[in-house]
């Protein structure tokens, strides 16, 4: 007996199968991470089964914090399995270095805020160490740019 022939799936089924929202799937299609599927006579998108695996790959990469362009490159490599994985390794190593840098900056910020809190006697705002340090950067332990720590938005 032959296995059943896979049937193209509408976008709603893809969303259910991958845990992604329909607008997110459309966005990934719009930016070229997901190939545009054929459409039904009623103009509905009908995706092949392979779209589920591709969307799960994208979702997992996003959960790990990879940027869209890195995901695009990784998908291209995944589409060509016989080539060397040196580029994939390089992308992952750069991403790890970025993560470690963010952790170091966040750790320094945490130490700075902890010092502010430790110095606060909780009397009046006039004597509040938190307010004093925020008003005078010279009272900080060191230099910090919280804005340079970007947390990935999904």
The answer to whether residues 9 and 49 touch, using CB atoms and an 8 Å cutoff, is yes
The predicted pLDDT at position 147 comes to 52
The predicted pLDDT at position 126 comes to 75
Residue 41, pLDDT above cutoff 90: no
79 φ/ψ angles, rounded to the nearest 5 degrees = -75, -10
The predicted pLDDT at position 5 comes to 58
Instruction: Calculate the average pLDDT of the chain.
Output: 87
Q: Which residues contact 75 (CB under 8 A, 6 or more apart)?
A: 33, 54, 57, 58
84 φ/ψ angles, rounded to the nearest 5 degrees = -65, 150
Domain ranges of the chain: 9-78, 86-148
The answer to whether residues 133 and 117 touch, using CB atoms and an 8 Å cutoff, is no
**CATH number of this structure's domain 9-78:** 1.10.1660.10
Lowest-confidence region among 31-35, 111-115, 137-141, 148-152: 148-152
Q: What angle do CA 82, 2, 35 make, to 5 degrees?
A: 45
The predicted pLDDT at position 99 comes to 96
pLDDT tens figures, 65-111: 999 999 999 999 999 999 999 999 999 999 999 999 999 999 988 98
What's the rounded mean pLDDT across residues 109-117? 87
């Amino acid at each position: 007996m032959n296995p059943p022939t896979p049937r193209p799936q509408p976008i709603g089924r893809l969303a259910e199968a991958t845990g992604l929202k329909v607008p997110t799937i459309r966005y990934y299609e719009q930016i070229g991470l997901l190939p545009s599927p054929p459409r039904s006579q009623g103009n509905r998108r009908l995706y092949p089964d392979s779209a589920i695996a591709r969307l799960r790959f994208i979702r997992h990469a996003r959960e790990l914090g990879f940027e869209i362009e890195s995901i695009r490159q990784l998908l291209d490599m995944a589409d060509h399995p016989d080539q060397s994985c040196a580029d994939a390794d390089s992308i992952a190593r750069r991403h790890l270095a970025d993560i470690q840098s963010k952790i170091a900056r966040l750790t320094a910020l945490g130490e700075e805020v902890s010092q502010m809190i430790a110095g606060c006697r909780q009397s009046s705002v006039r004597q509040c160490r938190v307010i004093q340090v925020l008003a005078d950067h010279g009272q900080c332990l060191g230099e910090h740019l919280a804005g340079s720590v970007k947390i990935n938005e999904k």
